[in-house]
């Protein structure tokens, strides 16, 4: 801890810190041009998406995650597939990458909390960052692979 603060202030900073970080990040990422978000190719270790279901059972819980993009005026709702048109699917794929990067950025902000927390609380803050963001990242990756399969089938017809 670099800054010694009263425990009441530390608790308040910890409670309001994450929303103060994540909400502006979400807004900022929705404001970035879509052209910045060219999703990477599926990696071999992802086993065509099956790893996400086999290891994490993503299919069972992904629909319970909140869709934060729908809270933003420029957000792209990813709760359900609205179309199988290639342009829409390509946009959806880009939006999954945008969302994934936003969640990775939120995790990367965890060290901010190291400024005023003792080591044990630093660990709690990192655990929170991972627990709050990794499920979203896993769902984005899982959905992106599924969307690419649909896009491939659609464009081959």
- The Cβ-side half-sphere exposure at 20, using a 13 Å CA radius, reads 9
- pTM of this prediction? 0.92
pLDDT at 135 over 80: yes
The model's pLDDT over 13-39, given as tens digits with 9 standing for 90+, comes to: 999 999 999 999 999 999 999 999 999
CA 148 from chain centre, in angstroms, equals 18
What mean pLDDT comes out for the span 102-117?
97
- Domains of the chain, by residue range, sit at 7-156
Token pair 């929170």: residue: 128
| pLDDT at position 157 | 66
Instruction: Give residue 117's pLDDT.
Output: 96
CA angle at residue 92 from 99 to 35, to 5 degrees?
A: 75
Q: How far apart are CA 146 and CA 93, in angstroms?
A: 9
């Amino acid at each position: 801890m670099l800054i010694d603060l009263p425990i009441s202030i530390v608790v308040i900073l910890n409670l309001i810190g994450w929303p103060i970080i994540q909400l502006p990040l979400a807004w900022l990422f929705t404001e970035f041009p879509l052209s910045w978000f060219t999703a990477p190719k599926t990696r071999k270790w992802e086993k065509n998406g099956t790893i996400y279901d086999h290891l994490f059972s993503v299919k069972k819980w992904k629909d319970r995650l909140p869709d934060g993009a729908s809270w933003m005026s420029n957000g792209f709702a990813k709760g359900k597939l609205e179309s199988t048109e290639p342009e829409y699917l390509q946009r959806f794929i880009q939006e999954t990458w945008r969302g994934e990067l936003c969640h990775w950025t939120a995790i990367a902000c965890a060290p901010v909390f190291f400024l005023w927390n003792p080591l044990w609380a630093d660990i709690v803050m990192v655990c929170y960052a991972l627990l709050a963001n990794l499920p979203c990242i896993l769902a984005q990756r899982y959905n992106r692979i599924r969307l690419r399969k649909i896009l491939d089938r659609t464009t081959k017809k």
